């Protein structure tokens, strides 16, 4: 049983469930008030200001209600009361969103000129300038009600491709069985994928992998058709909304220049050599005559036996991030000491780890700490999110307090990098050093190289459809195989089944999303390098970034942190860093 101090104190948000229910009534009342303004919100400056203020207040309230309910539920998913309020939070959320669906179209009746005039008449409106700018930009891609209705229905139809894919691959396909070297019969499915590919027996890994991808191969015609449908839908919506391309549409929301995407692919392709060198090193260290995809995940060095108590882990994370300043350390300590964190696994508690926040309250984090090295990294990671939210909430008005996915993983990954550096400098043995270096390499391989390969592939498929070419199984598999050859080099054996791997990746049904993993880690590695090299202003810039929330376009926010993601530099730096880590690892493995 976890001690109270290692669980959340949810009274920091609501005194009791009764107080939560009262909060729900307040939210309903706020929504009604705002709904009552329908048809009038743009009539003059003061009414507009009132509506936007009410909308913020409601947003604040409803997020808090939702966050509390989710946390209460995640602590003990068998708790009936928690389940009940979580479900009501969910349904009220939907109901209110529906009731207020008039808001955005009505705001869009304004023009930038009228809004500017209003902002002269009511100073308070200046706050909403950036938000309105984003809305006005969308306006060029929004049409009359009849077309909008059709497009929205098409959008709903478009979502069915992902649903079909999930149904096929999760529910319908019957996966074969395999016997592990330990004599256990397991199913060759995606749940067992990680364990199997980490198994020390190369023949078993290979058999598992070829069987699994073979299953996708057997269904390659259906999966191609579903994927083709999904890409056609992306292209259709983008064209109808008068975007230059489906990629332009996907990137426009956060104002990401398309150069960012092209630079990423070009830079990674140009710097594939370190990855290829790593592939060759793996082959040598694992003592394999040939290296296959199934050999890319197994740990190169044995794990260390050491475990950490939660107190030790706290101390390590505090010391590793101390470079970010006294104030940072003080808030982190408060998070540890003041029950912001639910630490240990428990019966019926949610698995995994996350950070969560709502405006006006401190953030919280859920962990399932068991004392492994990985768990220490998870603390650094999740507390990175906590601190980013803490500072953004403190320094931004509600409307700009939330950061978007493009910047979301930067603070957490910077912390992981600082932790790596600290542990590496304090490591006791070559074995520990080698383990840490290998973790770094595998992390960058799977987040930067691998996700860029995916980004490269979806870029190709969308371009093909935009040029009127059909997506056929043979063509997709050939293109995919070709990408593996470009990225992984000559030592790497491309098995025939590897060409089916694209069919296993659910993220492809969310087009132009995964590149953000690659840019995120690149930004984080660049920022942490600057900090660790003691570059002037590096800490200050990073601290300023943490306070910036969503107050500007993500590219501009990262410039505050000292990285220009529109230039190839951060990606180049990260790939150079990969090479440096590799050079450091090599002599340790040969000892
Ligand atoms: Zn994260």
CA separation for the pair 424, 7 (Å, rounded): 31
Average pLDDT of the segment spanning 399-417: 95
Token duo for residue 300:
């190169």
Average pLDDT of the segment spanning 479-486: 97
List all residues 6 or more positions away from 82 whose beta carbon is below 8 Å from its beta carbon: 69, 72, 73, 75, 76
- 405 Cα: distance to centroid of ligand 1 (angstroms): 10
- 67 Cα: distance to centroid of ligand 1 (angstroms): 17
Does 461 have pLDDT greater than 90? yes
Q: What is the DSSP letter of 169?
A: I
Q: Do the beta carbons of residue 197 and residue 208 sit within 8 Å?
A: yes
Distances (CA, A) of 339 to 19, 362, 522: 20, 11, 33
CA separation for the pair 5, 3 (Å, rounded): 5
Q: What is the mean pLDDT of the chain?
A: 95
Q: pLDDT per residue over 312-335, tens digit each?
A: 999 999 999 999 999 999 999 999
- 562 Cα: distance to centroid of ligand 1 (angstroms): 21
Q: How far is CA 132 from the centre of its chain?
A: 26
* Residue list, CB under 5 A from ion ligand 1: 412
**Share above pLDDT 70 across residues of the chain, in percent, rounded to a whole number:** 100
Residue 459 pLDDT: 98
Q: Do the beta carbons of residue 69 and residue 89 sit within 8 Å?
A: yes
Residue 84 pLDDT: 95
Residue 188 pLDDT: 97
- 367 Cα: distance to centroid of ligand 1 (angstroms): 12
Identify the band that residue 471 occupies on the pLDDT scale cut at 50, 70 and 90. very high
Q: pLDDT per residue over 227-263, tens digit each?
A: 999 999 999 999 999 999 999 999 998 999 999 999 9
Residue 2 pLDDT: 75
Q: pLDDT per residue over 8-57, tens digit each?
A: 999 999 999 999 999 999 999 999 999 999 999 999 999 999 999 999 99
Residue 448: closest CA among 248, 260, 265? 265
Distances (CA, A) of 393 to 328, 550, 551, 571: 15, 10, 11, 29
Segments in 445-568 forming alpha helices (H): 450-466, 473-488, 515-532, 538-546, 554-560
- 352 Cα: distance to centroid of ligand 1 (angstroms): 11
Residue 97 pLDDT: 86
Average pLDDT of the segment spanning 495-513: 96
List all residues 6 or more positions away from 218 whose beta carbon is below 8 Å from its beta carbon: none
Distances (CA, A) of 369 to 2, 73, 257, 344, 426: 11, 19, 40, 5, 22
Compute φ and ψ for 271, nearest 5 degrees: -115, 40
- 223 Cα: distance to centroid of ligand 1 (angstroms): 30
Torsion sign over Cα 76, 80, 82, 87: positive
């594939």: which residue's tokens? Answer: 272
CA separation for the pair 565, 259 (Å, rounded): 9
CA separation for the pair 12, 336 (Å, rounded): 15
Residue 104 pLDDT: 87
Q: pLDDT per residue over 369-403, tens digit each?
A: 999 999 999 999 999 999 999 999 999 999 999 99
pTM (2 d.p.): 0.93
**Share above pLDDT 90 across residues of the chain, in percent, rounded to a whole number:** 91
CA 484, 486, 489, 492: dihedral to nearest 10 degrees?
Answer: 10
């840019």: which residue's tokens? Answer: 519
pLDDT: is 591 or 296 the higher one? Answer: 296
pLDDT: is 290 or 148 the higher one? Answer: 290
Compute φ and ψ for 187, nearest 5 degrees: -85, 140
- 114 Cα: distance to centroid of ligand 1 (angstroms): 40
Average pLDDT of the segment spanning 411-429: 96
Q: pLDDT per residue over 342-362, tens digit each?
A: 999 999 999 999 999 999 999
Q: Do the beta carbons of residue 343 and residue 317 sit within 8 Å?
A: no
Identify the band that residue 591 occupies on the pLDDT scale cut at 50, 70 and 90. low
- 147 Cα: distance to centroid of ligand 1 (angstroms): 38
Average pLDDT of the segment spanning 150-168: 89
Token duo for residue 528:
């942490």
- 409 Cα: distance to centroid of ligand 1 (angstroms): 5
Q: How far is CA 252 from the centre of its chain?
A: 18
Residue 158 pLDDT: 87
CA separation for the pair 531, 415 (Å, rounded): 11
List all residues 6 or more positions away from 444 whose beta carbon is below 8 Å from its beta carbon: 521, 525, 574, 577, 578, 581
Identify the band that residue 155 occupies on the pLDDT scale cut at 50, 70 and 90. confident
Q: Do the beta carbons of residue 469 and residue 439 sit within 8 Å?
A: no
- 393 Cα: distance to centroid of ligand 1 (angstroms): 18
- Candidate list 137, 187, 326, 382, residue with the active-site label: 382
Residue 216: closest CA among 504, 476, 508, 507? 504
Residue 1 pLDDT: 57
CA separation for the pair 425, 529 (Å, rounded): 15
The pairing of beta strand 364-366 with beta strand 341-342: parallel
382 is catalytic: yes
Average pLDDT of the segment spanning 425-444: 94
């019957």: which residue's tokens? Answer: 174
Residue 90 pLDDT: 87
Q: Do the beta carbons of residue 236 and residue 164 sit within 8 Å?
A: no
Q: pLDDT per residue over 86-128, tens digit each?
A: 999 988 888 888 888 889 889 999 999 999 999 999 999 999 9
């Amino acid at each position: 049983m976890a001690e109270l101090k290692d669980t959340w104190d949810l009274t920091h948000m609501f005194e009791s469930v009764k107080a939560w229910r009262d909060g729900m009534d307040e939210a309903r009342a706020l929504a009604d008030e705002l709904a009552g303004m329908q048809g009038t919100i743009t009539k003059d400056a003061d009414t507009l200001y009132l509506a936007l203020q009410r909308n913020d207040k409601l947003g604040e309230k409803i997020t808090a209600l939702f966050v509390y309910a989710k946390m209460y539920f995640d602590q003990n998913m068998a708790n009936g009361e928690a389940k009940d309020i979580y479900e009501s939070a969910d349904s009220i959320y939907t109901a209110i969103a529906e009731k207020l669906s008039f808001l955005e179209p009505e705001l869009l009746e304004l023009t930038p000129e009228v809004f500017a005039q209003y902002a002269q008449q009511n100073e308070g409106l200046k706050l909403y300038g950036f938000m309105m700018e984003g809305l006005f930009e969308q306006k060029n891609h929004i049409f009359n009600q009849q077309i909008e209705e059709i497009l929205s229905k098409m959008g709903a139809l478009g979502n069915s491709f992902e649903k079909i894919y999930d149904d096929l691959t999760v529910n319908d396909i019957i996966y074969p069985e395999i016997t592990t070297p330990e004599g256990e019969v397991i199913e060759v499915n995606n749940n067992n994928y990680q364990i199997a590919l980490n198994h020390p027996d190369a023949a078993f890994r290979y058999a598992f992998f070829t069987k699994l991808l073979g299953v996708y191969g057997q269904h390659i015609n259906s999966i191609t058709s579903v994927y083709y449908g999904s890409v056609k839908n992306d292209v259709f919506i983008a064209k109808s909304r008068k975007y230059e391309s489906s990629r332009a549409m996907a990137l426009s929301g956060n104002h990401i220049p398309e150069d960012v995407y092209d630079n990423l692919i070009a830079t990674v392709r140009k710097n594939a050599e370190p990855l290829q060198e790593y592939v060759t090193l793996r082959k040598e260290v694992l003592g394999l005559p040939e290296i296959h995809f199934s050999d890319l995940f197994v740990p190169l060095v044995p794990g260390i036996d050491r475990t950490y108590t939660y107190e030790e882990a706290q101390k390590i994370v505090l010391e590793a991030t101390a470079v970010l300043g006294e104030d940072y350390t003080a808030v982190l300590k408060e998070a540890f000491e003041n029950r912001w964190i639910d630490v240990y696994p428990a019966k019926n508690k949610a698995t995994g780890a996350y950070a969560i926040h709502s405006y006006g309250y401190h953030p919280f984090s859920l962990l399932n700490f068991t004392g492994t090295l990985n768990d220490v990294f998870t603390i650094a990671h999740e507390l990175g999110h906590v601190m980013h939210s803490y500072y953004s909430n403190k320094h931004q008005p509600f409307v700009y307090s939330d950061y978007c996915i493009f910047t979301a993983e930067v603070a957490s990954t910077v912390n992981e990098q600082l932790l790596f550096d600290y542990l590496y400098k304090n490591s006791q043995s070559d074995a520990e050093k080698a383990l840490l270096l290998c973790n770094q390499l595998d992390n960058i391989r799977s987040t930067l190289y691998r996700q860029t390969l995916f980004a490269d592939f979806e870029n190709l498929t969308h371009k093909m459809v935009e040029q009127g070419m059909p997506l056929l199984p043979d063509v997709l598999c050939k293109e995919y195989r070709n990408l593996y050859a470009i990225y992984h080099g000559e030592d790497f054996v491309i098995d025939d089944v590897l060409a089916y791997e694209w069919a296993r990746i659910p993220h492809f049904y969310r087009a132009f999303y995964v590149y953000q993993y690659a840019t995120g880690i690149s930004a984080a590695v660049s920022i942490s390098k600057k900090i660790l090299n003691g570059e002037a202003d590096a800490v200050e810039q990073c601290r300023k970034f943490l306070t910036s929330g969503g107050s500007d376009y993500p590219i501009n926010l990262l410039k505050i942190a000292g990285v220009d993601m529109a230039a190839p530099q951060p990606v180049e730096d990260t790939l150079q860093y990969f090479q440096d880590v590799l050079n450091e690892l090599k002599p340790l493995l040969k000892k």
